Amino acid sequence: MISLVHYLIVSILLFCIGVAGFLCRRNALVLFMSVELMLNAANLAFITFARFQGNPSGSVIAFFVMVVAAAEVAVGLAILVLVFKNRSSVDVNEISLMKG
């Protein structure tokens, strides 16, 4: 039978793949996708704990996480389009104007 640990391990691996992508890739679009992966890993953990405690509140929290992800992507991609207009690149190494 599938236990809590199985699902949590999938969630952990998904999260860590997201972290690796965020730290390795320099394309801002891929960075956003890595953030989506991490948010999904968190969602999976929420739903897993909800299932194994018989508490449906986890579904509601996962729903909120999805809404926050949607808002983040909308604003983030709008900013990215503006950055591309100004600098014609989405490489985060080249968007370092405010670096000290």
In the range 44-83, which residues lie near another protein by CB under 8 A?
Answer: 44, 47-48, 50-54, 56-60, 62-64, 66-75, 77-82
Q: What is the DSSP string of 62-78?
A: HHHHHHHHHHHHHHHHH
Among 5, 96, 97, 99, binds another protein (CB under 8 A): 5
Site for another protein in 8-37 (CB under 8 A): 8-10, 12-27, 29-30, 32-34, 36-37
Long-range Cβ contact pairs of 63-66 (< 8 A, separation 24 or more): 65/39, 66/39
In whole angstroms, how close is the CB of 62 to another protein at the nearest point?
Answer: 5
Query: Which two structure tokens, joined as six digits, stand for 10?
Result: 């999938």
What letter does residue 54 receive in the DSSP assignment? T
Residue 2 or 98 having the CB closest to another protein: 2
